[in-house]
Structure 1
């Protein structure tokens, strides 16, 4: 039987894969597991969601499940995922539940759980919850049934937290923010305005069906055009649950997560905040980031793909900054998970403080041309470990030398082998990637 929890909670097609019955059962099991780990008090859970239509249905199911297991529920409404994580700690709750499928299209939804303090649940606890779904448990009655309350100032608490984590005001900046018709539709424009920026918000009218629909961090062309049309200093793009951030400079050029991390790393080092002068990235981060940070005297630690691995490395070594090329940026001193709004505020603060354009700041790194080819195979692990494939990889690495690199790995979710090549030119990278892909396709 496949594991219910993926890399980011339980996710699937709402009302088909992810049914109200499943959501209710997961929530009840989570409450029972946490209550068993700490019997000193009645468990309290914070529940939030993004604005997709199925969120209303699933929120009702989750709250019912929690209350049926004896947990009190604090509903915080439509709020970014990092806002829910923050409020778990802020309100002293034992559990957080975010109902969202992040950047996925509207028909999908998900249930993401946070432990006390707003941290992601360890795998072992997720396994206990999954096991609890198959074990009938007695339900409390009478006064033992949980109560459900609304937290009226949840939004304001989160915005105040963001502003407190912003090192300087943004006066004089003009920014376009693409809210993806998602969870940040209200919080992002408010936070950026209160920090001092002139804000033009686009895709900030969610109707339950238009989340991520041709907008947000996975569709940057609209934002690029808006920045140029408005003469803005920069643009910010969020995904549906606003746990990540990409940017566009005043010229309309995309500034990805690697470039954002480069800017923030240098700003934090200058402020004495970059612990051990170290930045944590995944193996997918561009070689250009490695070169830029080496030249700047910043050490890079590399993890497997996934923000959970970045967070593990940050926490294990007490480090202050890490993230992914996709725009998931982690700043543990201010957030327990990736927070796209916090990232945007820190990035804009650097622009405002230095008086330099985002294009100039992001120019600290030069992105190496990068080509990714996915090859469908019957047995991804066997093919990726094939001597023939490894010999081909070694040959390309030898040809590239210090001017490029190869990353070949099995997909974590599909029967695919991913071939990524970086080289001095896009043409060289494409030729090398196609060559390796052909070897992978022929390997058995």
Structure 2
């Protein structure tokens, strides 16, 4: 069944534009409150976190109104990373967790994503049921049963202690200089504090949020600032988070970035050597580089591929009993420690390898040689559906024939933005560029 409001990671869009309006947030809050308040004889609670977008205040209030109208008691965490919401939903025995964030998107966007009582994101099936409640409407509880709302002041401290506990006992970061780019987002206080408390010499950037500068010329999608800062300060490592801190891109001491595929390769090899990699497999999406797959196969390991979205990675991990997965974009999921991707935690695991081996970051971020990969995004307008056009389908089929067994082609509609993503991998650069360009041209010709 096609979902109307939910994408690959909750509900997302431009703030104050349908469906990301205060009115819709109230309806969503009431619907999800009714969905989780199954037993009306006991008290129910929900935790709500947010990133640093100005619109977060509006959505926080609207969601609180909707949730309390169904009898849910709301605990407001304020600005915290997305993985903190997953952690605190479970540890505080809440029935539901809500994160208000559009992750790596610009400040004008916002989103709402949900966690179940186990701290994991909701399934497609649960979101479909909630959509039905949004559309049908929810009857509020009687006045005496309206829920309460209160601020929780120690949420980020609870999260920080959990993150520090994942760092190997006895290891410290003394003598290591780390640039931490918090993207002016949810981890702007927590991440520098955690690194400093573990002994690092910390150089923070992207730690002055003003409501409108989240992800702006900084963070995991724009790592230039962090790269320049690493080189300028002679730092040993840069860690670039995104707005809600559930992903990370690393910068080595030369200023060169390393994506999630390289981080996952390093951890998978290390965990396999230690007998810690459950199922002998790493779970990643269809976007991960073919070089990663070859790297794993050479070591007797497997790559389990899923649809794009860290939620689908986690679902496959849970179904197969795997404990390591993620995305090329920098989501690293370690279910021994967390219920969702955690950029700061991934950065700490990499730093632990630097300490253990004594190697420089540049020695550790190149586990495998990438197969040349090209990704181009084509933005479309609401109401357009370019992938349904015959001309586009013919261009895709022709491109696949041209690539043959020399590479692979992946075309998909983004689940979080109005974009068609055209990606190909091929060791023949001329063929790589030609096939991607012909599909992009076919998509653009439909506008």
TM over 0.5: yes
Q: Which residue of 1 aligns with 2:16?
A: 15
- Contact 1:81/1:98 (CA < 8 Å) preserved in 2? yes
The separation in 1 between residues aligned to 2:272 and 2:127, in whole angstroms, is 36
Question: Deviation at 1:138?
Answer: 3.6
Residue 39 to residue 320, structure 1, CA distance change in 2 (3 Å): same
- Contact 1:384/1:417 (CA < 8 Å) preserved in 2? no
Q: Which residue of 2 aligns with 1:359?
A: 362
Q: Which residue of 2 aligns with 1:30?
A: 32
Question: Deviation at 1:135?
Answer: 3.3
Residues 319-355 of structure 1, C-alpha deviation per residue, up to 9 Å, x if partnerless? 0111111001111111111111111111111111111
Q: Which residue of 2 aligns with 1:271?
A: 274
Question: Deviation at 1:280?
Answer: 0.9
The answer to which of 51-60 and 86-95 deviates more is 51-60
Q: Secondary structure of the residue that 1:47 maps to in structure 2?
A: strand
Residue 24 to residue 249, structure 1, CA distance change in 2 (3 Å): same
In the superposition, the TM-score normalised over structure 2's length comes to 0.91
- Contact 1:384/1:409 (CA < 8 Å) preserved in 2? no
- Contact 2:183/2:242 (CA < 8 Å) preserved in 1? yes
The separation in 2 between residues aligned to 1:359 and 1:325, in whole angstroms, is 18
In the superposition, the TM-score normalised over structure 1's length comes to 0.91
Q: Which residue of 2 aligns with 1:396?
A: 403
The separation in 2 between residues aligned to 1:358 and 1:296, in whole angstroms, is 22
Question: Deviation at 1:172?
Answer: 2.5
The separation in 2 between residues aligned to 1:96 and 1:210, in whole angstroms, is 25
Q: Which residue of 2 aligns with 1:301?
A: 304
Residue 77 (structure 2) pairs with residue 42 (structure 1): no
Q: Which residue of 2 aligns with 1:380?
A: 387
Residue 385 to residue 222, structure 1, CA distance change in 2 (3 Å): closer
The separation in 2 between residues aligned to 1:119 and 1:2, in whole angstroms, is 20
- RMSD of aligned C-alpha atoms? 2.4
Question: Deviation at 1:397?
Answer: 2.1
Q: Which residue of 2 aligns with 1:406?
A: 408
Q: Which residue of 2 aligns with 1:285?
A: 288
Residue 306 (structure 2) pairs with residue 341 (structure 1): no
- Contact 1:371/1:426 (CA < 8 Å) preserved in 2? no
Question: Deviation at 1:374?
Answer: 5.0
The answer to which of 381-390 and 316-325 deviates more is 381-390
Residue 341 to residue 383, structure 1, CA distance change in 2 (3 Å): farther
Structure 1 portions without partners, runs of 5+: none
The separation in 2 between residues aligned to 1:384 and 1:242, in whole angstroms, is 40
- Contact 1:374/1:419 (CA < 8 Å) preserved in 2? yes
Residue 127 (structure 2) pairs with residue 123 (structure 1): no
Q: Secondary structure of the residue that 1:134 maps to in structure 2?
A: helix
- Contact 1:68/1:140 (CA < 8 Å) preserved in 2? yes
Residues 120-163 of structure 1, C-alpha deviation per residue, up to 9 Å, x if partnerless? 11222222222222334443345411111222211110001101
The separation in 1 between residues aligned to 2:121 and 2:5, in whole angstroms, is 16
Q: Secondary structure of the residue that 2:136 maps to in structure 1?
A: coil
Residue 391 to residue 20, structure 1, CA distance change in 2 (3 Å): closer
- Aligned partner (choices 426, 433, 436) of residue 433 of structure 1: 436
Residue 211 (structure 2) pairs with residue 208 (structure 1): yes
Give runs of aligned pairs for residues 138-217 of structure 1, distance below 5 A. Answer: 138-167=139-168, 168-217=171-220
The separation in 1 between residues aligned to 2:17 and 2:444, in whole angstroms, is 34
Q: Secondary structure of the residue that 1:372 maps to in structure 2?
A: strand
- Contact 1:384/1:408 (CA < 8 Å) preserved in 2? no
Residue 264 (structure 2) pairs with residue 235 (structure 1): no
Residues 213-246 of structure 1, C-alpha deviation per residue, up to 9 Å, x if partnerless? 1111111111110000010001000111111100
Question: Deviation at 1:197?
Answer: 1.6
Residue 13 to residue 317, structure 1, CA distance change in 2 (3 Å): same
Residue 29 to residue 434, structure 1, CA distance change in 2 (3 Å): closer
- Aligned partner (choices 247, 250, 263) of residue 253 of structure 2: 250
Question: Deviation at 1:80?
Answer: 0.5
Question: Deviation at 1:438?
Answer: 6.2
The separation in 2 between residues aligned to 1:210 and 1:388, in whole angstroms, is 39
